[in-house]
Structure 1
Amino acid sequence: MVRTDSHAFIARLDMGWERYRVAVEYDGAHHWTDPTQRTRDIDRHHALADHGWQVIRADATLLHRRPHTLLSRVHAALRARGADLDR
């Protein structure tokens, strides 16, 4: 769960590394087809970015057909934020 410094709720992440402020968020079909959900997602993404989080988005195709791409994006984001992934 991500909160502001004053403990106000921002978001509940699908997956995240708090130390590096890197998150992975899965977007199912309703995230693209439901206008209300789409607007909430846009606002949520900006709120996370405003609090220093980098959000990597994934969908079913990326997970099932191109998992190497998703892993590459996650590794790059973590490394850029100081994670030592070679240990």
Structure 2
Amino acid sequence: MMKWESVELRGYSYYSERGYRILVPLVDVSGYDFVAEKDGTFIRVNVKRAGLKSKDNPNSWSIARASGSFKVGKDVVNIDVYLA
């Protein structure tokens, strides 16, 4: 499992290589880890640690966060992309 810092750096690279500017908040109150901006379009990105739930099913992922379980209905409202 990759550390979230490594995933975040890969996200910076991914969007930078495609011409996006990377914007990082100075304090952690925004609910996202960084924003990618290109031509006035902003993409809010959140980085999570993920692990495979079942070795028999490669499409079964479990996403964890520091404050507890991941509630999709509540948490995706202000995020455009999750990286794991």
Q: Specify if TM > 0.5.
A: no
Q: Which has the larger helix fraction?
A: 1
Q: Which has the larger strand fraction?
A: 2
